[in-house]
Amino acid sequence: MKRGLVLMMIAGMLTVSAQANLISNGDFNTGDLTGWWSYSPDAETQSITVQAEVAYDATPNAMLVSATDGDWQELGTSAFACQSQTDYSLNLVYNQTGWVGAGINLKYWDAEWAEVGYEWIDLLSSATEGAGEWTPFSKAFTTPEGAANMEVKIVMGGWGTLYAENIRVVPEPASMALMALGALLLRRRK
Ligand SMILES: [Ca+2]
């Protein structure tokens, strides 16, 4: 009975973690930009596409190419519902070649779609040439008071290529449930 209860708890945690990512198609495994919008100010030297030739986990990812000292281009999610004054975690894996500047913009609206705040997160400085290695990135953030909807936007520019993969926004309690599950599995293995 006790083991059954534990298994039920694990199944519950796995269900929570599987549903936890608030970003639709954050892994780009549809093979296209479904769930995202993109904006390239200079169509001749900038592009945002989904490709699988340079892959992190043998699946498609987003490729942002830029060759201009002009405006930066943007890859944003459709707006999704969030809780006010709540801790979340933003996670992604990226790869960079050339001289790329990039950041992530979080934008918040209330239930009536009035803007209630934004946050800029530095990702890359164009002062450093990319080595073409996949790099995990994680950042905790807290939604402002009144936030009911939000958007995650990758902003990049410069002279190079940025690949983005497995972009996730998860509520912190789900992350903690996942860590608890890991600890539980470790304990059982001993
Ligand atoms: Ca993928």
Domain ranges of the chain: 23-171
What's the CATH superfamily of 23-171? Galactose-binding domain-like (2.60.120.260)
Pairing of strands 80-81, 135-142: unpaired
152 versus 9: which is more confidently predicted? Answer: 152
Do 130 and 145 form a contact (C-beta atoms < 8 A)? Answer: no
- pLDDT range class, residue 178, cuts 50, 70, 90: low
CB-neighbour burial class of residue 9 (10 A; exposed 0-12, middle 13-18, buried 19+):
middle
Q: How far is the CA of 166 from the centre of ligand 1 (A)?
A: 6
Which residue in 153, 175, 15 sits closest to 89, CA to CA?
175
- Report which residue type is found at 190: K
Q: Please give the average per-residue pLDDT across 152-181, as a whole number.
A: 86
Average pLDDT, the chain: 90
Does residue 20 have a pLDDT over 90?
A: no
Please give the Cα distance from 161 to 108 (Å, whole number).
Answer: 28
Q: How far is the CA of 145 from the centre of ligand 1 (A)?
A: 33
**What angle (nearest 5°) sits at the alpha carbon of residue 11, between those of residues 5 and 16?**
125
Beta-carbon neighbours within 5 Å of ion ligand 1: 27-29, 59, 61
Is the entire prediction scored with pTM above 0.75? yes
18 versus 129: which is more confidently predicted? Answer: 129
